[in-house]
Amino acid sequence: MRRGSGKFVAGFLALPVLVYLVFVIGPYLQAFYLALTDWRGVSGSPEFIGLGNFERLLGDATFWKAVSHHAILLVVLPLATLGIALFFAFLINAGARSGTRGVWGSRFYQAVFFFPQVLAVAAVGVLFQAVYRPDSGGILNGLLNAVGLDNVGWLTDPDLALWSIIAVLVWQAVGFYVVLFSAGMAAIPKEIHEAAALDGAGRGRMFFSVTLPLLWDSLQAAWVYLGIAAFDGFALVAVLSVNRGGPDGATTVLPLEIWRTAFSFSKFGYAAAMGVALFFLTLTFALLALRVTRRERIDLA
């Protein structure tokens, strides 16, 4: 680095770093502080209570119920989304008879799969309210009635509500990962697939022995992203669920409980403690996922 260039780089980065510290790191530090107080969100100095809010969290049944829902999401959302996305991406990119090139119109299929990504979450929620309506006017129940079956309370049955929302989350996310994996598959030299085909590898063997190992970096990143998404779900749960998290807390998630605790019950200190717990849960998952899925990188050069 030439003399004087360090000062130029520092001057160039000073403003972005300052903005990041003020608008990202600052709110984090403020949340950590508020988690140690009993602040109710109105004027006045918060009273410092130490770890009192976190001790209360340990005995909060609603908090642990939300955590259990996140545990289900952490398992089901990545597995279902990545499994479906890999399946469709492989069909699109290796669906021809040779098994080494994509099917005709693959670009169009990618655009169709990606379409749910351009829809606002609120719009998706309203759309699936019509799909999941509990009476015969709902799309799913209308189909069930057509074959002589009774209506199902997709969002009103505590045993079905969470799974119905997970299905929507998967539907909305699959398209992005189809495009992501399609791009990764397109980057694999076709000579590798041709060599595998000459060696007698079928499509299944080619996928598990060739394509999947070469996509591992993309798969690892996708797993982390979906895991982080599994700790969210606020907007879709707020729009789709009965009474925001119902029935009887069957669909509640931590972001929704944080919002409810802060803005409905004016317990901002306790809500901040929930937020801090959510932060460390998400961070722990990301670190563990990167650690567990780490493997030696394959160089195509």
How confident is the model over 35-59, as pLDDT tens digits? 999 888 776 778 888 889 999 999 9
Residue 9 counted as domain residue: no
What pLDDT score was predicted for residue 104?
Answer: 64
Instruction: Using the predicted structure, report yes or no on whether residue 70 has a pLDDT greater than 90.
Output: yes
The mean predicted confidence, pLDDT, of the chain is: 84
What pLDDT score was predicted for residue 252?
Answer: 92
What pLDDT score was predicted for residue 110?
Answer: 75
What pLDDT score was predicted for residue 3?
Answer: 59
Q: How far apart are alpha carbons 36 and 46 in whole angstroms?
A: 9
What pLDDT score was predicted for residue 164?
Answer: 93
Instruction: Using the predicted structure, report yes or no on whether residue 98 has a pLDDT greater than 50.
Output: no
Instruction: Using the predicted structure, report yes or no on whether residue 96 has a pLDDT greater than 60.
Output: no
Q: Residue 171: count other Cβ atoms within 10 Å of its Cβ.
A: 16
Residue 77 counted as domain residue: yes
Of 90-94, 112-116, 136-140, give the range with the top mean pLDDT: 136-140
The residue segments making up the domain with residue 242 are: 60-292
Instruction: Look up the pTM and report it.
Output: 0.84
**Residue 235: band (very low, low, confident or very high) from pLDDT cuts 50, 70, 90:** confident
Residue 90 counted as domain residue: yes
Instruction: Using the predicted structure, report yes or no on whether residue 103 has a pLDDT greater than 70.
Output: no
- For the chain, the domain total comes to 1
Which segments of 47-158 are extended strands (E)? none
Task: Give the lowest-confidence range in 46-60, 81-95, 195-209.
Answer: 195-209
Task: Give the lowest-confidence range in 84-98, 99-113, 123-137, 241-255.
Answer: 99-113
Instruction: Using the predicted structure, report yes or no on whether residue 68 has a pLDDT greater than 60.
Output: yes
Instruction: For 174-209, give the DSSP string.
Output: HHHHHHHHHHHHHTS-HHHHHHHHHTT--HHHHIII
Of 169, 4, 193, 215, the closest CA to residue 77 belongs to: 169
Residue 79 counted as domain residue: yes
Instruction: Using the predicted structure, report yes or no on whether residue 201 has a pLDDT greater than 80.
Output: no
Of 72-86, 170-184, 233-247, give the range with the top mean pLDDT: 72-86
Q: What is the CATH number of the domain that holds 205?
A: 1.10.3720.10
| 74 and 68 Cβ atoms separated by less than 8 Å | no
Instruction: Using the predicted structure, report yes or no on whether residue 297 has a pLDDT greater than 60.
Output: no
Residue 2 counted as domain residue: no
Residue 17 counted as domain residue: no
| 182 and 95 Cβ atoms separated by less than 8 Å | no
Q: Averaged over 64-85, what is the pLDDT?
A: 93
Residue 239 counted as domain residue: yes
Instruction: Using the predicted structure, report yes or no on whether residue 169 has a pLDDT greater than 90.
Output: yes
Residue 96 counted as domain residue: yes
Better pLDDT: 190 or 100: 190
Q: How far apart are alpha carbons 133 and 151 in whole angstroms?
A: 9
Instruction: Using the predicted structure, report yes or no on whether residue 281 has a pLDDT greater than 70.
Output: yes
Dihedral (Cα; 17, 21, 22, 28), 10-degree rounding: 150
Better pLDDT: 202 or 277: 277
Integer angstrom CA distances of residue 61 from 13, 50, 153, 257: 46, 21, 25, 12
